[in-house]
């Protein structure tokens, strides 16, 4: 039996790991072991319930307003003895969070092979996104199996000196996840959401990135206010990330505005339905940039640079940064120009085909069959 451990702790990791865990559970020769750091709490728990993921352990490391150093230290201290006891044959980490970096590092210390899901994304800017760009570069130095979502990601790994036979282009598992959910959702699970006035044109917004906290997020809010001023028919739905610093800014600018629904984070199926109901999406999220094209929704990316360049190239996303006027002008074009809108909404999703998890499992099985 191959003991395959999934180390994760945040909402996006859970969503992107879930299809791989579900697949691994069905495999005879694999024993999946879910080890949670608990870097996130409420917004992680709802994903575990949704996909019926039962962790062996949850280290519960989250604290209010945690700093990167404290978080890193807590995960090292608490995860280390777990790996010592469990001795998995492989540790899988996903993406670029603190949990993913520490999971990979500790596996290396115990000389356990590491598989990196969503490997090879690069913005080539040390501080954007911060600290994720450097987290994923460091994970690439450690990993033995690199599961790249796209050709471009694989190219980045090759350029970075990773051996070709360790890189596998598999697509992004988030497409597997959204495919599992999107067809099933047509009413919100929470009653109050079904009562929300979504108007004729609803724009969905999410923002949480560390580098956007402060003046950039204030600019995003000002852009929303300006859009409302010139288009009073617009309705904005903004599920707020639980980070207190994010909430403070959003509430300061947008609370009690009749055109803005500032709401609690949505459970994944409700969020997918909200994406479906939106006209377009404003976001600094990584995952949302990848999911939106599956639903034919244009994305305006609230970042100065993105590692998800495939969407920009394919035309599913437009980078608008955090400049108030750029956001306003680009959103206005989308609203006023149905032909531009239609063109964007018909582009095929460049991030995957929904079969990534199965590919990852086959590769892991093959890796261990060669080792015997």
Residues at the contact surface with ligand UDP, assessed by CB under 6 A: 11-12, 15, 174, 206, 208, 239, 265-266, 268, 271, 285-288, 291
**Contact between 65 and ligand UD1 per CB under 6 A:** yes
**How distant is the alpha carbon of residue 166 from its chain centre?**
24
Say which residues have a Cβ less than 8 Å from residue 162's Cβ, sequence separation at least 6.
140, 146
242 binds, among ligand UDP, ligand UD1, none (CB under 5 to 8 A by kind): ligand UD1
3-state helix, strand, coil in the chain (%, to 5): 50, 15, 35
Answer for which of 12, 103, 149, 321 binds ligand UD1 (CB under 6 A) is: 12
Least Å distance between CB 3 and ligand UDP? 27
Closest CA to 11 of 268, 213, 269: 268
Catalytic residues: 96, 118, 132, 208, 210, 241
**Contact between 171 and ligand UD1 per CB under 6 A:** no
Rounded to 5 degrees, what are φ and ψ at 214? 100, -140
268 binds, among ligand UD1, ligand UDP, none (CB under 5 to 8 A by kind): ligand UDP
Nearer to ligand UD1, 28 or 64 (CB): 64
Answer for which of 23, 131, 171, 216 binds ligand UD1 (CB under 6 A) is: 131
Task: Tell me which residues in 36-55 interact with ligand UD1 (CB under 6 A).
Answer: 39-44
19 binds, among ligand UDP, ligand UD1, none (CB under 5 to 8 A by kind): none
Say which residues have a Cβ less than 8 Å from residue 344's Cβ, sequence separation at least 6.
298, 315, 316, 334
346 binds, among ligand UD1, ligand UDP, none (CB under 5 to 8 A by kind): none
Answer for which of 199, 242, 296, 315 binds ligand UD1 (CB under 6 A) is: 242
Q: What 8-state DSSP symbol labels residue 242?
A: S
Contact assessment for residue 300 and residue 207, using Cβ atoms and an 8 Å cutoff: no
**Contact between 136 and ligand UD1 per CB under 6 A:** no
271 binds, among ligand UD1, ligand UDP, none (CB under 5 to 8 A by kind): ligand UDP
Q: Provide the H-helix boundaries in the chain.
A: 11-25, 42-50, 68-86, 98-109, 132-142, 151-159, 173-182, 191-195, 215-230, 244-254, 268-277, 286-291, 309-314, 324-336, 338-345, 356-371
Say which residues have a Cβ less than 8 Å from residue 249's Cβ, sequence separation at least 6.
213, 214, 217, 218, 221
Least Å distance between CB 131 and ligand UD1? 5
Kindly state the number of chain residues that form the binding site for ligand UD1, as judged by CB under 6 A. 26
Least Å distance between CB 274 and ligand UD1? 16
Closest CA to 43 of 333, 186, 246: 246
Select the residue whose beta carbon is closest to ligand UD1 and give its number.
97
Residues within the interface to ligand UD1 (CB under 6 A): 10-12, 39-44, 62-66, 68, 71, 96-98, 131-132, 208, 210, 242-244
């Amino acid at each position: 039996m191959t003991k395959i451990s999934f180390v994760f702790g945040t909402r996006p990791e859970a969503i992107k790991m879930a299809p791989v865990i579900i697949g691994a559970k069905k495999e005879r020769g694999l024993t999946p072991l879910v080890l949670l750091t608990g870097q996130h709490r409420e917004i992680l728990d709802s994903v575990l319930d949704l996909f019926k993921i039962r962790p062996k352990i949850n280290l519960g490391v989250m604290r209010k307003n945690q700093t990167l150093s404290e978080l890193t230290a807590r995960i090292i201290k608490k995860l280390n003895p777990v790996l010592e006891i469990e001795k998995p044959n492989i540790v899988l980490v996903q993406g670029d969070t603190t949990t993913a970096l520490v999971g990979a590092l500790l596996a290396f210390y115990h000389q356990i092979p590491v598989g990196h899901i969503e490997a090879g994304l690069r913005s080539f800017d040390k501080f954007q996104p911060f600290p994720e760009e450097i987290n994923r570069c460091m994970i690439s130095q450690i990993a033995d199996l690199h599961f790249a979502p796209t050709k471009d990601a694989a190219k980045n790994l090759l350029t970075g000196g990773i051996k070709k036979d360790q890189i596998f282009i598999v697509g992004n598992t988030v497409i597997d996840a959204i495919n599992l959910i999107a067809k099933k959702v047509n009413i919100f699970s929470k009653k109050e959401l079904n009562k929300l006035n979504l108007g004729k044109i609803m724009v969905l917004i999410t923002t949480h990135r560390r580098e956007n906290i402060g003046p950039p997020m204030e600019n995003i809010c000002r852009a929303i206010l300006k859009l409302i001023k010139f288009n009073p028919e617009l309705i904005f739905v903004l599920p707020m990330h639980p980070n207190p610093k994010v909430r403070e800014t959003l509430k300061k600018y947008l609370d009690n505005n009749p055109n803005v629904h500032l709401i609690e984070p949505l459970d994944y199926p409700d969020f997918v339905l909200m994406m479906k109901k939106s006209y377009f999406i404003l976001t600094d999220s990584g995952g949302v940039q990848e999911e939106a094209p599956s639903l034919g929704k244009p994305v305006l990316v609230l970042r100065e640079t993105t590692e998800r360049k495939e969407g920009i190239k394919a035309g599913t996303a437009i980078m608008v940064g955090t400049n108030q006027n750029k956001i306003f002008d680009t959103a206005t074009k989308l609203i006023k120009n149905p032909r531009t809108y239609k063109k964007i909404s018909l582009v095929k999703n460049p991030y995957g085909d929904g079969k990534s998890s199965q590919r990852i499992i086959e590769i892991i099985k093959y890796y261990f069959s060669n080792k015997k």
